[in-house]
Structure 1
Amino acid sequence: MATMTVESVKRFGHTIKEHTISVPWDYDNPGETFELFAREVIAPGGEDKPALVYFQGGPGFPAPRPVGTPGLLGKALERYRLILLDQRGTGRSHRIDSASPAADLEKLKFLRQDNIARDAERLREHLGEDKWSMFGQSFGGFCITSYLSLFPESVERAYFTGGLPTLDKGADELYRSTYRALHARQEKFYREIPWAKGRVEEIIHHLDNAEELLPTGERLSSRRFRTVGIELGRGTGFDTLAYLLEDPFREVKGEKRLRTDFLADVGARVSFYGAPLYAAIHESIYGAVGGQKVTGWSAHRVREEFEDFAESGTWLTGEHIYPWQFDEDPALRPLKEAAFALAEHEWESSPYDAEALGKADAVAAAAVYLDDIFVPFEESMDTAAAYKDLRPHVTNKFQHNGIAEDGAGIFGELLRLADDH
């Protein structure tokens, strides 16, 4: 039986309880354990409200650290006690990063959504909840889908934002979908900001022919620069990229050079120092889905099927992780051996069970974004149809990070859909 500790304080008018329980790294072979952490936020008078566990997007990121209750958090607290779970390997749940010992880096294969779901079920049991509800943003929705596959009887309601994963497409096919979605999104960017394409090509040509160093000391390659395209999947991404690109060069001693503020901005965007797990385990979340047991650097291989995104191309890339990043990013170099081993790992089973989802009694509601470059629309709608009762809220008003722009409004719409049954 896992041990549990609870600490309670008052902050910003709310009761904050900190829960720590001991759970195994490997549920198939229980032995070595770690301390799983979750923070419970209770609004004034909300002690008897039902529980809602929050699964953060990612993978590889901890739960939010609230300093107040604006937006989605505030809306959720109107009805629920909010459980902010630090997923294994993040935050206070035994963070794994470039400074971790080798023994921790060998645990990357245990960080998938199915084990996060098992951790959450242990937490539910120790909180004494017969059932609880769930919210998941992006990868958080993948965690919910895995949880409902394993423990459908434990869920009252499930709320998704940009997080309905494919159930039947392997990593290769999924990444083809993301490259196609990104291509359409980038075409729109170049239509709205017509000078941006030439500027991107100018920067790529410059980086291929001149040494430019990031503030962290390493040379910036053109292929690494191209990964700033992940911004195209965010609501204000067109404008943010346009501001980045508008005036990147200056003349220094008669030579064309990139400005230091440009290099600082790009450096922050292309470094995984804050969350190296995002890069190291990213493709593993698709392991064995659709029968593809080995991901094998899928995004890297599949990009060569698209001329614009290939190594020789000039279009910006998106939520794609490439093996060479583990050489070029100092934050990822210590994780290289473990990440390469994970890429060749043979996954025995998918983290999802479509049959179980089709029988689960939980009421589900999902915000699905039409031109999402992270979790493509068509695959999301296929998964929505697999659920016994999932009500989609389809919109083109937001991009993948919709909850950052109007979390309260989106969650309010999901509540309305779930209530209407």
Structure 2
Amino acid sequence: MRAAGASASTATGASTATVAETSFGRIRHWLGCTDVVNGLHMRELFFEVPLDYDDEKNAAAGGEEEGKKKIVVFAREVSSSRRPSDSLPYLIYLQGGPGFESPRPLDSGGWMDKACESFRVLLLDQRGTGRSTALTTASLALLDSAHDQAALLALHRADNIVRDAEAIRQCLGQKQWSTIGQSFGGFCTVTYLSMFPSSLRESFIMGGLPPTDKGCTAHKVYTHLFKRVETQNKKYYSRFPQDVEKIRQVFSYLLKKRSVETPAGNILSAKSLQSIGIRFGSAQCLESIHFMFEDPFEVTGELSYKFLRDYDSLISIDTNVIYAILHESIYCSEGGPSGWAAESVRKEYEVNECRNFDASWAIANDEPVFFTGEMVFPFMFDEVKQLRPLQEASEILAMKSDWPPLYDEGQLLRNEVRAAAAVYFEDMYVDLNLSLETAQKIKGLRVYVTNEYLHSGIRENGPKVLEKLMNMARNVEPIR
């Protein structure tokens, strides 16, 4: 099998690496560049970690065996230029996703400014993303088979993301540190609380309490979430009733044409256009879709170049393929295949609950066409250009039934780490009721339920939400 991505030994700065003794063996790490951006001091950190922590070779003493597979994990340390930071504790940020790199700070505003009052923030590019050894369509094409691709991708879930973070903590000489997890980053946080609780001082979760049942909960999750997506569609058309007919016209066009190629080489079909409803769950989401449909056609009657470009800009699974391929697997713990759960639930929901998700039915019955939400469907691997070469690997992973555990419910029930979670009442991505079920399983977890934000509280008013969680976790706000 040929290597996917650049080897750690060729990374810039590797010749000046420091070697740390960790519970995972010897880990090389090194500094990259330092920089200042609008009130923030930043420095780049690189860590050479095992690709597979369960590999016997990787677990062997010394850790220098020939052929041992390593990857690089990147993190950016951020601190305020207004405050000395060397003595501040670390707060590691776990990004939403899966498969998305950490944000790139442009200034000292938002939640980052609040966090930098009392922490050095570590923005982790989770394995496979950003400046870590990235998994892309091009890098995966270097592997010999779809089975090799699937095996590699399977090593990029929350359990190994957490092991990477734990190795980094030890390399930095921190006895404990704090975590902040947004969305999927909250899933990773609950995995961290399960696997390495003694390493955590406190944890803050924003819109990211996962179902922790054994097996695969994807079918259960999407059954709940389709109801929330239906609600957001109704809110959209209630706010913009003038869009009902415009949107039907676009879907009628696509159903007649069957598909249109976009400037990025993607295929726009009725089903793929419905998938932009993933945006309905964030701030200014309804407005952005409304403006997209203002004038979708050229004078010739064809879909406009601008409309097609807008569609390309709204999808991100072509630049972050891990998200598409591993999305359903985040709900699989200790076995149980996902089996394309979203597709299965959609078919059931269209027949038994809401026919508007069937664009053909909606148009034939003069009804609004409903958009779908945060769901990955098999057709995407035909229609998204960067996903087409990964179709076979995605099928292998959808049928994989031997997923390792992500959560330890016994440990969560014994939890002693100070923790607080923001749960958003109308969250379209992480169901309220399932989140509250999980909250009951984590001893001492304090929960802030609010309808002030959708899923994007960290972007809408990050300082307020973070301060609330910090005060709750630390019992500055008394238990009521």
TM-score using structure 1 length? 0.94
Contact 1:228-1:270 at 8 Å conserved across structures: yes
In 2: Cα distance, 1:365 partner to 1:197 partner: 41
Contact 1:64-1:84 at 8 Å conserved across structures: yes
**More moved, 403-412 vs 124-133:** 403-412
Q: Which residue of 1 aligns with 2:405?
A: 350
Contact 2:40-2:108 at 8 Å conserved across structures: no
In 2: Cα distance, 1:87 partner to 1:14 partner: 22
Distance 1:347 1:97, change over 3 A: same
Match among 380, 383, 391 for residue 446 of structure 2 = 391
**More moved, 119-128 vs 63-72:** 63-72
Q: Kindly provide the amino acid, as one letter, of the partner of residue 17 in structure 1.
A: R
Q: Which residue of 1 aligns with 2:91?
A: 52
Q: Which residue of 1 aligns with 2:129?
A: 90
Q: Which residue of 1 aligns with 2:426?
A: 371
**More moved, 217-226 vs 51-60:** 217-226
Gaps of 5+ in 2: 1-25, 59-67, 362-368
Q: Secondary structure at the match of 1:273?
A: coil
In 2: Cα distance, 1:218 partner to 1:368 partner: 35
Q: Which residue of 1 aligns with 2:172?
A: 127
Q: Kindly provide the amino acid, as one letter, of the partner of residue 306 in structure 1.
A: Y
* 2:54 is aligned with 1:9: no
Q: Which residue of 1 aligns with 2:377?
A: 322
Q: How far off its partner does 1:95 sit?
A: 0.5
Q: How far off its partner does 1:312 sit?
A: 5.2
Q: Which residue of 2 aligns with 1:281?
A: 326
Q: Kindly provide the amino acid, as one letter, of the partner of residue 40 in structure 1.
A: E
In 2: Cα distance, 1:249 partner to 1:110 partner: 44
Q: Kindly provide the amino acid, as one letter, of the partner of residue 295 in structure 2.
A: D
**More moved, 303-312 vs 57-66:** 303-312
| Cα-to-partner distance string for 1:346-378 (whole Å, 9 max, x where unaligned) | 134430112111212111111111111100100
Q: Which residue of 1 aligns with 2:223?
A: 176
Q: CA RMSD in A?
A: 1.8
| Cα-to-partner distance string for 1:260-302 (whole Å, 9 max, x where unaligned) | 21111012223523212111111111113xx761001111111
Q: Secondary structure at the match of 1:78?
A: coil
In 2: Cα distance, 1:72 partner to 1:38 partner: 18
Contact 1:369-1:395 at 8 Å conserved across structures: yes
Q: How far off its partner does 1:218 sit?
A: 4.5
Contact 2:265-2:385 at 8 Å conserved across structures: no
In 2: Cα distance, 1:58 partner to 1:224 partner: 20
Q: Kindly provide the amino acid, as one letter, of the partner of residue 52 in structure 1.
A: L
Q: How far off its partner does 1:316 sit?
A: 0.5
In 2: Cα distance, 1:232 partner to 1:306 partner: 19
* 2:346 is aligned with 1:303: yes
Q: Secondary structure at the match of 2:98?
A: coil
In 2: Cα distance, 1:419 partner to 1:179 partner: 36
| Cα-to-partner distance string for 1:121-155 (whole Å, 9 max, x where unaligned) | 11111111111000010000011110110001111
Match among 44, 47, 54 for residue 18 of structure 1 = 44
| Cα-to-partner distance string for 1:179-205 (whole Å, 9 max, x where unaligned) | 111112211222222233333222111
Contact 1:22-1:34 at 8 Å conserved across structures: yes
Q: Kindly provide the amino acid, as one letter, of the partner of residue 305 in structure 1.
A: E
Match among 252, 258, 278 for residue 230 of structure 1 = 278
Q: How far off its partner does 1:310 sit?
A: 4.8
* 2:228 is aligned with 1:203: no
Q: Kindly provide the amino acid, as one letter, of the partner of residue 396 in structure 2.
A: A
Contact 1:153-1:360 at 8 Å conserved across structures: no
In 2: Cα distance, 1:154 partner to 1:22 partner: 20
Between the aligned residues of both structures, percent identity stands at: 37
Tell me the matched-pair count: 416
Match among 113, 116, 131 for residue 158 of structure 2 = 113
In 2: Cα distance, 1:14 partner to 1:69 partner: 6
Q: Which residue of 2 aligns with 1:39?
A: 76
Q: Which residue of 2 aligns with 1:162?
A: 207
Contact 1:61-1:278 at 8 Å conserved across structures: yes
Q: Secondary structure at the match of 2:221?
A: helix
Q: Kindly provide the amino acid, as one letter, of the partner of residue 295 in structure 1.
A: S
Q: Kindly provide the amino acid, as one letter, of the partner of residue 11 in structure 1.
A: V
* 2:450 is aligned with 1:413: no
TM-score using structure 2 length? 0.83
* 2:194 is aligned with 1:149: yes
Q: Secondary structure at the match of 1:183?
A: helix
In 2: Cα distance, 1:276 partner to 1:58 partner: 11
**More moved, 169-178 vs 190-199:** 190-199
Q: Which residue of 2 aligns with 1:250?
A: 298
Q: Kindly provide the amino acid, as one letter, of the partner of residue 212 in structure 1.
A: V
